[in-house]
Amino acid sequence: MPSSSLAAPLDVELRPDRPAMLRVDPPDDVAAWAARYREALRAQVTEHGALLVRGLGLRDTDQAGAVFTRLAGDLMPEREAFAPREAHGPGLYSSTPWPANQPMCMHHELSYQLEVPGLLLFACLTPPEQGGATAVADAAEILKALPAELVERFEQEGWLLTRTYNEEIGASLAESFGTEDRDTIERYCRANAIDFRWLPDGSLRTEQRRCAVVEHPRTGRRCWFNQIAFLNEWTLAPEVREYLVDEYGADSLPFNTRYGDGSPIGEDVVQLLNTTYEEHTRREPWQAGDLMLVDNIGTAHSREAFTGERRVLVGMAEPRRLADSCPTGEASRR
């Protein structure tokens, strides 16, 4: 099996259909092992976009959290979540509680924020019976594969995320903003270039325009970096989309994405994006105790449908502010 020359002595397995993988013998002290090999592991992530470490035998939340902090330092608290997560400590969360029979398509975590996590950390405590892989795709290769005219439009306009918060679908105000206090939420929105409007029923509607293509801060590669397909209505299962449209109306869905000028994105474009992601997907089924590190800017990730119990912990680290030169517009002062 070929291996990388970077960050020796790690012997990393490289295959075109899988993320880079490092097999290790279970260390006596996993956190100490992570601290010892931190720089070598991080170099592999920079080179390959993602690294799966197999053999650590991660067993519980305390152990996973210790490894995460040894590798990444302080973990980021999640803000603007689109779905609630269970917290297991500062910056340590369960994976998103998405229905097991529905895949989560490729995306970059929290790419609609002004300050995004540069690094994602995953720990598999319990693998599913079938499916459920956290697959990855190279964002620079995705960009190259997309039609030039489509990329040009998104580069010029950016993309628009619309959200209508309610108590039934997705994260509540408290889960997303950490509070239900209107003044605090409004201050957050203004500080983060989020246009907002309180509706007559007391619910909140927001819009935020973000860039779709960014330059990687370490490698300089241009990356397709967004959640355009993931949060779009046409990625939802047809019966789910139909229910949400009937329940909330086409213009008041809990979340949706548009072109930066506010025009709707057609089903054909969303299908093209998801097909392009699939053509560049690398996947490896989880095993108990696995650790995965993902460069969130250079690499998209997904979660495939699964059966059985699946316990995967998530940490986010290395906040990066990428959007200063992107077409964010001005936040509302209403």
pLDDT means per 10 residues, the chain with 334 residues, are: 48 96 96 97 96 97 97 95 90 91 94 96 98 98 98 97 88 91 97 95 94 95 97 92 90 94 97 98 98 98 96 97 58 40
Say what the pLDDT of residue 326 is: 62
* Burial environment of residue 47 by CB neighbours within 10 A (0 to 12, 13 to 18, 19 or more): middle
Where would I find the beta strands (DSSP E) of 179-275?
A: 195-198, 204-210, 213-215, 222-224, 255-259
* pLDDT of amino acid 323: 56
What does the pLDDT read at residue 332?
A: 40
Look at residue 292 in the predicted model and tell me its pLDDT.
Answer: 98
Instruction: Report helix angle 61-72 to 38-48, nearest 10.
Output: 80
